[in-house]
A and B are shown apart, each in its own frame.
Chain A
């Protein structure tokens, strides 16, 4: 169970740092226009379907990318803990010994050994994301803070978004909603758009799939709704629902989420996106030496996605806000 205490180590408040696992430029899936998405490392949920398993732990993590490896053994020599072993099958990491110190990754000639998770100072991160401001301007895009759960690094997130707003950059936060409500008011004033995940409406099932019940998530969402109603930021709210076979991909769940949106968020949501299950992350689990129960699950069919989208449209929300995206099964050939 991943608890909310999954915080990165305290950072110096005068020189705040974030723990990130990726910065994605020309991102076209995380809000309007062309965006740079900053992925914060560390999540308060541990969804069984998570397609970024490396985002869950707030700590740096070592992984080994087989296709890059030339089998030189430098990593094994460099490892001060003797945690690495090179055999015909490649490098194995003894996770009980590995301290994620990163020495092997620093010396690996091919970057096959890689530490996921990098500390970024505010100044450097702002400098980095502003490199694409011409594309933000031409597209109505901007910067999205995603993850992981960016709300877990709220002080940094707030400072980051505040700086971007001073630069007139459109900001979005992509959140699972599971964090202390007190953090919300740190960063909401500097957030133009919230992309909010509503995964499962039934609290027990939510706990079963993600490790947490959804009460706090729904509370925080209502807080956001209240801020919007008062004319404060964010100006826009999108809801995203991962559609996972044998989990969230049920008529009851989609209809239930729709009812909840209609009842509690009427008029506030401008887009509700159903995101089809993606199984392309299987290798990521392997590289973290984790088993993934969903690894054999097939993609949903296009018909199924259309059907659930229809359910969503009839659930009481404005049907025009419903979209769906993602990969579906290849047509039979």
Chain B
């Protein structure tokens, strides 16, 4: 009966459980952070030339918090770098060959190797800053293009300073072809690469394709040699081990490493060891810790090994123990800049794993390993990496849903993201159609997709879609439509104290004050949207072309299908599927601002355009009544209100159509649309001027595809319906992208909904919550983060009611907007949520 569980107190914070002494020690040790004796912080390595540089700053162009550090980091790594003796021929080699040799040399011969007590996996330090391996001439050309007056850095800074967003060629964010290594071993890859090379004609062999393949062949031997070195370490440690069990483990690890990853693994332990070495060396190769380098469908490709080992007598708990070691290893990415603390770039690297989901013909692929991994997450959490994303669909078995909801109930929010297959696959099919790649993405393989980073959907093993490379504030187009192509406010540089005069940056769409109809304003908005997208594409090209020319990643290229065949590095467009994603930031703020302009100026004539523009320039100071009206009376996206959502659709369709019109010049990658806002919606709220939806400068913008903060006053179902609608909704007449689903965003869209804990308070309500998730699969978006209301949020709402007009408290039949009740009652609600969980 329901009441038995109903009054149990909820643990305020999930704590790890059922950890063996081994894992408990490793976990505790990890969380000692900077106090640890061992860590995996960046080690820098140089060719020893006076012009040498390690730091590839372009990878940080999408991290505005890091802008002020770029020059310092460049200098410090250079200062700290240790010299490596180079072979005589080094400077006669091509750049990819130099780089392949250098990274391998550092990893195999210079980076210290350790195995932590009890650890079952080898491969510890991998965070590197390796020399760019440029000649003096190359370095100069690179630096000119990077640091010159109109160089990549200056252009990216201008783009951000003026509120457009950020853009830069970023590492990671793909699912490598791990399945291929598991199947053929690196020996197989090495053999294939050699064949590709031999099949080139002489001219090609001597040209860039040959150079690239030679670099990849070198890189393909790195895992073998590193494994051999770790094997020796295991043997030495086994000899010295006083504990018999540990000695046996180390012997077994040495045996594993004797075979893998050069030869294909035969059992689960070997397979996980293979996977880890594959993965960590990508981060070494890219000189960046874990940036969305994702594992894909780990419960599918590891399943055969799991089953073999279980059949051969592996204890299921020991299998989980191996996985738990893997979990610890993934978290050591954070050591890269461990002394910076955990803010900004050091939180959330997004080594994503995908669980469950659909297989061929709609079959569900949940299996015992899916559950084992969920148990590992449950036992280990809270822990940041790897991030799990559980794929749900209409055929998801009730047992999996039960487990998912139980874990959400236990953790005051989901320790994973939920991806929704039908909608996601519709997006991938749309991509196939729009980009003309139906031979690579089609109804028979689209179920093999997997998200990277957080939720960005891609194909697996042959796809680099630059999923976080371009983050564009759509709201900028509203600002420029109001002013006819000029910033609303002059940019003031806090570093120099100088204020730049306002310039005519965008197209002249006329003074909005003269617009006599809403249609005129919309026209101006479309022209300015087209402009900001072009601006983003151009700014991106600066770093994309430099990366393609100066920053090859031959090791990673071995793991991406297409690179060997084309003889092209993955940074040069070698992958079979080459996209770069334009992520729209501020979607709801943009829609709501347009709705507010239409409502205030044209439909209801509450103010003139002049007044509105004056109010925005004044950051609403002196215009509080108008601001309040914009906030509370103007319609909003996210309430399942067909009229407002129609405006949202218009904005969406325009944005998508324009995004598909572009390709990169240097690498011929197709732009595709998506919606992800990482943390930009918070930070850029301080960069962007006040907006017509009532938001003052300094208040957060809207996040990804979510309704504006507080706008979803009709609750979670209405919120989800609005999201599904703007992605295209459904149709049963055969026109849809996949099944009866439309989805205009192949990348997918980040969606967060916060629930009152009463929705999961007892088995009866948990069943209702499961049903909500099933309903979301029908009506909602591609990916959902479930948050559960906690007392801290309520206290914040008490302090800042303007941010939480939507916050509903539900106490068995009593529903009220939290901010509409008195303080004393609010305190009581906070008490109850704290103590009873609802």
> Which residues of A are found within 8 Å of B801, using beta-carbon distances?
67
Given contacts A131-B717, A283-B821, A286-B822, 16 further A-B contacts (CB under 8 A): A25-B718, A26-B716, A67-B820, A109-B628, A110-B628, A110-B629, A135-B779, A138-B778, A139-B772, A141-B768, A275-B812, A275-B813, A282-B822, A302-B7, A325-B813, A331-B836
CA distance A323 to B763 in the complex (A): 13
CB neighbours of A309 from chain B (8 A): 3
Residue B140 CB within 8 A of the other chain: no
Q: Measured between alpha carbons, how far is A328 from B2 in the docked complex, in Å? A: 15
Beta-carbon contact of A25 and B715 below 8 Å = yes
Return B719 CB to nearest CB of chain A, in Å: 10
| A132 CB-CB contact with B under 8 Å | yes
- Binding-face segment, B321-329, B470-478, B486-494, B826-834: B826-834
Contact A280 B775 (CB under 8 A): no
- Give chain B nearest CB distance to A183 CB in angstroms: 24
Residues of B in contact, count (CB < 8 Å)? 51
Partner of A326 from the list B624, B778, B813, B828 (CB cut-off 8 Å) is B813
Main SS at interface, chain B: helix
Closest B residue, CB atoms, query A324: B3
A29 and B831 contact, CB distance less than 8 A: no
A-B contact pairs, 21 of them (CB 8 A): A26-B715, A26-B717, A28-B765, A67-B822, A72-B628, A109-B632, A111-B632, A131-B718, A134-B778, A135-B779, A138-B778, A139-B775, A141-B768, A275-B813, A283-B816, A283-B825, A286-B822, A324-B3, A328-B7, A328-B836, A333-B835
Query: Which residues of the partner chain A approach B758 to less than 8 Å between Cβ atoms?
Result: 28
Q: B831: which A residues are within 8 A, CB to CB?
A: 330
Interface string of A311-333 (1 = CB under 8 A from B): 00000000010011111101101
Residue in A131, A139, A275 whose beta carbon sits within 8 Å of that of B768 in the complex? A139
Chain A proximity of B782: nearest CB distance (Å):
16
Q: Is B625 at the interface (CB under 8 A from chain A)?
A: yes
The reply to whether the CB of B1 lies closer than 8 angstroms to some CB of chain A is: yes
Q: Are B812 and A326 in contact (CB under 8 A)?
A: yes
Binary interface encoding of chain B residues 619-649 relative to chain A, with 1 for a CB under 8 A from any of its CBs, else 0 = 0000011101101110000001000000000
User: A-contacting residues of B (Cβ < 8 Å)?
Assistant: 1-3, 6-7, 9, 624-626, 628-629, 631-633, 640, 714-718, 721, 758-759, 765, 767-768, 771-772, 774-775, 778-779, 801, 810-816, 819-822, 825, 828-829, 831-832, 835-836
CB proximity to B under 8 Å, residues A130-188: 131-132, 134-135, 137-141
Given contacts A282-B825, A283-B821, contact A138 B771 (CB under 8 A): yes
Residues of chain A from 32 to 79 with CB closer than 8 A to chain B in the complex: 33-34, 51, 65-68, 70, 72, 74
Write the chain A residue with the least CB distance to B759: A28
- Measured CA separation A74–B778 after assembly (Å): 44
Check if B3 sits within 8 Å of A34, measured CB to CB.
no
Q: How far is the CA of A33 from the CA of B765 in the complex (A)?
A: 8
Q: Closest 6 A-B residue pairs measured CB to CB?
A: A139-B771, A135-B775, A138-B774, A134-B778, A109-B629, A109-B628
Given contacts A26-B716, A139-B775, contact A68 B820 (CB under 8 A): yes
Write the chain B residue with the least CB distance to A287.
B820
- Chain A residues in 8 Å Cβ range of B772: 26, 34, 135, 138-139
User: Quick one: which of B717, B774, B819 contacts A67, CB cutoff 8 A?
Assistant: B819
Contacts of B718 in A (CB 8 A): 25, 131-132
- The one of B717, B810, B815, B822 in contact with A135, judged by C-beta atoms closer than 8 angstroms, is B717
CB under 8 Å from chain B, chain A span 285-312? 286, 302, 306, 309
Please tell me if the beta carbons of B628 and A330 are within 8 angstroms of each other in the complex.
Answer: no
For residue A141, give the distance in angstroms from its CB to the closest CB of chain B: 7
The answer for the CA separation of A330 and B624 in the assembled complex, in Å, is 40
Which of the listed residues A26, A30, A302, A306 has the most CB atoms from chain B within 10 Å of its own CB?
A26
Q: Which of B7, B626, B632, B810 contacts A68 (CB 8 A)?
A: B632
Docked complex Cα distance between A90 and B715 (Å) = 29
The answer to whether A281 has its CB under 8 Å from any CB of chain B is: yes
Q: Does residue A278 face the partner (Cβ distance < 8 Å to B)? A: yes
The answer on a CB contact under 8 Å between B771 and A33 is: yes
Given A135-B775, A282-B825: A72 touches B624 (CB 8 Å cut-off): yes
Q: Tell me, rounded to whole Å, the shortest Cβ–Cβ distance linking B178 to chain A.
A: 35
B629: chain A residues within 8 A (beta carbon):
109-110
Residues of A within 8 A of B812 (CB): 29, 275-276, 278, 325-327
Let me know if A131 and B640 touch, CB within 8 A: yes
Inter-chain CA distance A141–B774, complex, in Å, is 13
* Inter-subunit contact A141/B2 (CB<8 Å): no
| CB of A35 to closest CB in B, whole Å | 9
Between A111, A276, A281, the greatest number of chain B beta carbons within 10 A of the residue's beta carbon is seen for A111
A24 at the interface (CB under 8 A from B): yes
**Chain A proximity of B814: nearest CB distance (Å):** 5
Contact between A281 and B814 (Cβ–Cβ < 8 Å)? yes
User: How far is A68 from B818 in the complex, measured between Cα atoms in Å?
Assistant: 11
CA–CA, A135 and B411, complex, Å: 24
Closest CB in chain A relative to B637 CB, distance in Å: 15
Residue of A nearest to B758 (CB): A28
User: Which residues of chain B have C-beta atoms less than 8 A from A286's C-beta?
Assistant: 822
- Let me know if A34 and B775 touch, CB within 8 A: yes
Residues B815 and A24 in contact, CB atoms below 8 Å apart: yes
CA distance A279 to B392 in the complex (A): 40
Is B778's CB under 8 angstroms from A25's CB? no
Query: A24 contacts which chain B residues (CB < 8 A)?
Result: 715, 815
Which residues on the B side are within 8 Å of A306 (C-beta)?
A: 3
Q: Are A330's CB and B820's CB within 8 A?
A: no
A132 to B721 Cα, complex, angstroms: 8
Q: Could you tell me the distance between the alpha carbons of A288 and B812 in the complex, rounded to whole angstroms? A: 23
How far apart are the CA atoms of A320 and B814 in the complex, in Å? 25
In the assembled complex, the Cα of A280 lies from the Cα of B818 at a distance in Å of 11
B771 smallest CB distance to A (angstroms): 3
Complex: A331 Cα to B825 Cα, angstroms: 17
Task: Give every chain B residue within 8 A of A281 (Cβ-Cβ).
Answer: 814
CB distance from B440 to the nearest CB of A (A): 32
Q: B759 contacts which chain A residues (CB < 8 A)?
A: 26, 28
B813–A29 CB distance below 8 A: yes
The residues in A between 207 and 244 inclusive whose CB is less than 8 angstroms from any CB of B are none
Contact B632 A110 (CB under 8 A): yes
Nearest CB in chain A to that of B835: its residue = A330
Residues of the B chain whose Cβ atoms lie less than 8 Å from the Cβ of A66 = 822
Cβ distance B288 to chain A, nearest Cβ, rounded Å: 41
Complex: A57 Cα to B108 Cα, angstroms: 81
- Chain B residues lying within 8 Å of A138, measured Cβ to Cβ, are 771-772, 774-775, 778
CA A74 to CA B771, docked complex, whole Å: 45
Given contacts A25-B715, A72-B625, A135-B717, A323 and B819 within 8 Å (CB-CB) = no
> A33-B768, A110-B628 are contacts. A25–B714 as well, Cβ < 8 Å?
yes
Q: How far is the CB of A65 from chain B (nearest CB, A)?
A: 5
Q: Of residues 242 to 287 in A, which have CB atoms within 8 Å of B's CB atoms?
A: 275-276, 278, 280-283, 286
Closest to A110 in B: B628
A68 to B817, CA, bound (A): 11
Task: Chain B residues near A132: list those with CB within 8 A.
Answer: 717-718, 721, 775
Q: Closest CB-CB distance, B794 to chain A, in whole Å?
A: 14
Q: Which residues of the other chain, A, contact B626 by a CB distance below 8 angstroms?
A: 109
A34 touches B625 (CB 8 A): no
A328 to B812, CA, bound (A): 11
Residues of A within 8 A of B716 (CB): 26
In the assembled complex, the Cα of A140 lies from the Cα of B764 at a distance in Å of: 12
Which residues on B sit within 8 Å (CB–CB) of A327? 811-812, 814, 832, 836
Q: What is the CA–CA distance of A327 and B829 in the complex, to the nearest angstrom?
A: 10
**Shortest Cβ distance from residue B716 to the other chain A in the assembled complex, whole angstroms:** 5
